[in-house]
Amino acid sequence: MKKLLFLGVSALALTTSCVSSLDDSYNVNPKSSGSALASGFIANAERTLVRTVNSANVNLNPLRFYMQYWVATDYPNESQYDLITRAIPGGYWNALYRDCLTDLRAAKTTIPTDITVPDANKANALAVEEVLEIYTWANLVETFGNIPYSEALNPSNLQPKYEDQAAIYADLISRLDVVISKFDTSAPIGLGANDLIFPGTTAAATTAEWIKFANAMKLRMALVIADADPAKAKTMAEATAGKLPSSNADAVDLTFNGTYPNTNPLYEDLVRSGRTDFAGANTFINPLNGIAGPATGIPVTGVIDPRLNDYFNPATSTALPAGTYVGGTEGTTNSKTTLSQPGAKLRAQTLPGVLVSYAQVELMLAEAVERGFAVGGTAESHYNAGVTASILEWGGTSAEATTYLAAPNVAYATAPGTYKQKIGYQYWVALYNQPVESWTQWRRLDYPQLPLAANPANGIKVIPRRFLYPTTEQNLNGANYGEAATAIGGDDVATKLFWDKF
């Protein structure tokens, strides 16, 4: 499904009739909104959210380094887990709090009185706002731990209290259950083309897509808490059976319109910048090549992954055979010319920014089955569907997927390791262009076993399990920051969050 980014700007139409005075409302079109439109706030929030989680900007999102998809060429600080020099936590925090959640709250306030949203659609429009808000809050909890929540977003309270991460997450789950029941499947959303994720003006089918998105979030959040509260996770996951995205056409994504600044952020980072700051990591490229890499905790498939030539370009060095893919070393400087650069598909201005892919949904279902959750199907059938969906998503064929899945070290029945190892590896590969999501899945399952980057900053001994709190919070909200840091076990990248049990 194509979802083109179009940020509309509404103008207030003013009449110019000659009147004897300028009071009353003679100069105002009574059919125009007197304030910004709710759909504009929704569009801005969606754009910010999708760009933030998909960006490769080293001031905002270094997670392609942490997940060892890419290495740095000239400036390795961020790949060495330096979150301080460029104030990355503050950039991420501000993007979601200041730019995304603030717009969503403005939409929530505006929808009830916005005459451009038909009365019959207002409930659905409010439900969309709530789903996006829950997704954003969950992302913040999964990134930082304890955060300001009920006291946040209040301009009269510049020092909001931090709340317990598990309590916030439980509240978000409750809110998600409520909002799923609020959608009216007989009516469209009512936001028109300014719903950038599932745009539509009349189709009630769009509402069905939002319900699938909400259920995919519910399954995802169930698996996040599965090691902390398996009984609750089971109930949640089983409630989503038959209500989830069922093909790549159901992917929850936003297709950018190709006109700067409304392009995919990767185009800006890889093409428009004119820079070559990134190359593939040998930790990732070697297993895609089917060979052993520098890490011992990653399986050797023995077969070339059909996504390799979509994820990366061949190395251009004349010293290598044509079509050779070579990765660099995480945590060091790397060659700009002898390594494989990110592939051509990632450089497209209109590349969709993904929040939830169908491949991800199927792999989550495979994991749910292995955990004993009654979601239908078998772990193997969902695993095969997830891998196939990922290969097709990137332009591969069903035949390529069948051949790949037949390899003994890939086939679910014969691939080595536990279900966490098998599914964890395929999450890692499939979520290549969903780095934030990949980081969360990796922290949950602890597979694949990625090595520590070379030369880690400040004596860091683990790949970060969370972001540090922003320095602005330390400086401007010090007492509440201190309480939060103590409550989670220390404001440290090694501190595990409440759901990260192993």
429-448 pLDDT, tens digit each = 999 999 999 999 999 999 99
Length of the chain: 502
CA distance 470 to 307: 36
Render pLDDT for 73-83 as a digit per residue (tens, 0 to 9).
999 999 999 99
- Domain segments of the chain: what residues? 38-265+350-488
What's the rounded mean pLDDT across residues 378-384?
A: 98
User: Residue 475: which residues within 8 A CB-CB, separation 6 or more?
Assistant: none
| Predicted local confidence at residue 300, as pLDDT | 94
Strand pairing report for 70-72 and 353-356:
unpaired
Helix (H, G, I), strand (E, B) or coil at 416: coil
Q: How far apart are CA 107 and CA 502, in angstroms?
A: 39
> Is 205 within 8 Å of 336 (Cβ atoms)?
no
Collect all residues with Cβ–Cβ distance below 8 Å to 327 and sequence separation of at least 6.
71, 279, 280, 281, 282, 283, 284, 285, 286, 293, 339, 340
Instruction: Work out the end-to-end distance of the chain between its first and last CA atoms, rounded to an integer number of angstroms.
Output: 38
Are 193 and 8 a contacting pair, CB within 8 Å? yes
Which of the pair, 245 or 319, is modelled with greater confidence?
A: 245
User: CB of 125 within 8 A of CB of 191?
Assistant: yes
Q: pLDDT for 222-277, tens place per residue? A: 999 999 999 999 999 999 999 999 999 999 999 999 899 999 999 999 999 999 99
pLDDT at 35: 67
Mean pLDDT to the nearest integer, 292-317:
94
- Selection from 394, 401, 386 nearest residue 346 by Cα: 394
CA distances from 461 to 33, 87, 142, 454, 456 (A): 55, 20, 20, 10, 7
Tokens representing residue 27 in the block? 């100069």
Q: What is the mean pLDDT of residues 53-73?
A: 97
**Cβ neighbourhood burial of 259 (10 Å; 0-12, 13-18, 19+):** exposed
- 347 exposure class (CB count in 10 Å sphere: 0-12, 13-18, 19+): middle
CA angle 290, 291, 293 (to 5 degrees): 125
pLDDT at 12: 24
Cβ-based burial of 399 (10 A; exposed 0-12, middle 13-18, buried ≥19)? exposed
By CB neighbour count within 10 A (0-12 exposed, 13-18 middle, 19+ buried), where does 298 fall? buried
Confidence of residue 201 (pLDDT cuts 50, 70, 90): low
pLDDT score of 204: 86
- In the chain, count of helices (H) and strands (E)? 18, 6
The confidence score (pLDDT) of residue 296 equals 87
CATH architecture of the domain with range 38-265+350-488: Alpha Horseshoe (1.25)
By percentage, how much of the chain surpasses pLDDT 70?
93
CB 468 within 8 A of CB 193: no
